[in-house]
Structure 1
Amino acid sequence: MRATTMSAENKKIVTHFYDQLFSYGNLDVVDELVGTTYTNHNPQGVDGPEGLKGFITFFRKTFPERTKTTHRALAEGDLVLLHSESAAAPGATPSAVVDIYRVEDGRIVEHWDVIQPGPETVVGGHDLFTTISEPVASQPDPNADTAENKKLVTALFHELAVEKDPTVFERYAVESFIDHNPQHADGVAAATELFTGLFAGNPEVTIDVKRVIAEGDYVAVHHHLKLNPDDRGFACIEFFRVRDGKIVEHWDAVQPVPETSRNENTMF
């Protein structure tokens, strides 16, 4: 019960902080809720509360009409994850933004993110954000078995990352699961074909799972995908919705790891 209460308290802290900072530019919330040891893994960001204030000031000056809409929020323990839609101006093609914050003693002390520009075309016909599977709800189901759902998605990634088995979705997903990745078609057959090609064409590919955050029927996986040992790779955050013991829907955000960074924290 204490862990559940802590997760809820941390989610409240982060969602309030995020709304005040990005919707209103309220820098006072940084002094109120950000720790002095704040570590930023965004390659364009710097550490510390003052660095965060500087970034937000620059961001809002550069993009005065930018809009942000948070579609789902997950919290587990000291980690809170927000999946948001961000557009440079009303009507502009939005990017998918996934932020992960670590909260310690009521203050935000660490941040990771993955940002993916919105695509011009999509294979499956779905946007990057909407929940389609029934029951339609973007926020976690409080009655769902978080532990079992996390166990299922963790097992899937083990079989992908360690065993490199492209058939995993045949065991862990419904046949016609919905895929919001703009380059992927729906369903098990398409996922099997995708990973069969990935493993065959990149025999040294690695999928290094960094953290898994689960709440209710939603499970998010933050990982580092590298096609070969010399590849800088991609920062990836994937969401899975699990209903009745099977994956029914999938979203993700993928960002190439840049050659240079303003900090030494890595994206992971």
Structure 2
Amino acid sequence: MAAAGVLSGGAVTAAAASPQPVPATWADGGNRQTAANKAMVVHFYDQLFNHGNLAVIDRYVRPDYIQHNPNSPDGLDALCHFVTGLRAAHPDLHVTIERAIADGNLVMLHSNSVTDPGTKGQAIVDIFRIQDGKIAEHWDVIEQVPDTTASGNDMLSTLSTPRLRWPDPRVSTSASKRVASALFHGVTAGRDVTAFDRYASDPYYQHNPQSPNGIAAAKAFFASTFAANPGFSVSVKRVIAEGDYVAFHSHYKFAADDPGFAILDLYRVRDGKVVEHWDVIQPVPEKSANDNTMF
């Protein structure tokens, strides 16, 4: 669940790419098609944004490509135009993919996009839906990386052990999903902050920039949020899980007429407890370049 940073805005741009090849472990676990989807998406991302290889658009993206980034229209021409403009404006663009998670026909990338050297850039989550071997649909959530955080943790690193950036194939995906879902739904839908006591474990590493580490801080934040916002609601749009990582892509609202926030909450589950949390938060804009909403 997003913690105190729910009220902070994030810059709205499209995502960039990974300069490194896919680690072999990223393809472990799951079925062969899911692993192939993940490898294809990471390759596409790298070639398109880091190398400006526009040929991968025709090769890997369906002609009826659906776009949920509010700054971009649907279709291949719009994607080509965006990439060309982005690379022209930021020739030193560099993106590091910290995590790649695949679940059925969905692939999620959790990245740090640095458009200009010396800046901290943006934390970005991209979600791709694969259909018949090609990218059919895209969602993203984008937030500016701040200079400092309440916990002292950055927005993207892994602090819990073992310090693997990619999903651990030795961990049961279904078991991780059960634990993370019990915590997430228990708190957001059930408004039961004691779910942290049952399903999380201290030091509960926190990567939301405005929240300290620990279960006590998370409980205090949600208790105060519920008290101050009786109309608070969370609508989960999709869940993506692999190994010890579980992600919830949701629409958070503080009142019925609130446009709200697109938020991606990411949990790491170890030994049956949630031990680490990342999120990326973006306000839902009033207007969009497409008619698809951010969800």
Question: CA–CA distance in 1 between the matches of 2:221 and 2:30?
Answer: 38
Q: Work out which of the residue numbers 112, 116, 124 in structure 1 matches 2:151.
A: 124
Q: Work out which of the residue numbers 175, 180, 189 in structure 1 matches 2:216.
A: 189
Q: How does 1:38-57 map to 2 (within 5 A)?
A: 38-57=65-84
Q: Which residue of 2 aligns with 1:94?
A: 121
Give 1:253 shift.
Answer: 0.3
Q: Work out which of the residue numbers 179, 182, 185 in structure 2 matches 1:152.
A: 179
With CA pairs under 8 Å and 6+ residues apart, which has the higher RCO, 1 or 2? 2
Q: How does 1:33-182 map to 2 (within 5 A)?
A: 33-182=60-209
Report the residue type matching 1:159 in the other structure: G
Offset from partner CA, 1:75-108 (integer Å, 9 cap, x none): 0000000000011211112210100000011100
Offset from partner CA, 1:41-61 (integer Å, 9 cap, x none): 000011111111111111111
Report the residue type matching 1:151 in the other structure: R
TM score, norm. by length of structure 1 = 0.97
Give 1:148 shift.
Answer: 0.9
What percentage of aligned pairs have identical amino acids?
49
Give 1:156 shift.
Answer: 1.8
Offset from partner CA, 1:159-184 (integer Å, 9 cap, x none): 12321112221111102110010000
Q: Work out which of the residue numbers 255, 261, 268 in structure 2 matches 1:241.
A: 268
Question: CA–CA distance in 1 between the matches of 2:217 and 2:29?
Answer: 41
TM score, norm. by length of structure 2 = 0.89
Question: CA–CA distance in 1 between the matches of 2:223 and 2:99?
Answer: 31
Give 1:3 shift.
Answer: 5.9
- Any idea what SS the aligned residue of 1:239 has? strand
Question: CA–CA distance in 2 between the matches of 1:88 and 1:16?
Answer: 19
- Runs of 4+ residues deviating >4 angstroms: none
Question: CA–CA distance in 2 between the matches of 1:259 and 1:138?
Answer: 35
Question: Does the CA contact (< 8 Å) of 1:161 and 1:208 recur in 2?
Answer: no
Give 1:116 shift.
Answer: 0.2
Number of aligned pairs?
268
Question: CA–CA distance in 2 between the matches of 1:90 and 1:142?
Answer: 34
Question: CA–CA distance in 2 between the matches of 1:148 and 1:207?
Answer: 23
Report the residue type matching 1:51 in the other structure: A
Question: CA–CA distance in 1 between the matches of 2:48 and 2:291?
Answer: 24
Q: Which residue of 2 aligns with 1:223?
A: 250
Question: Does the CA contact (< 8 Å) of 1:98 and 1:253 recur in 2?
Answer: yes
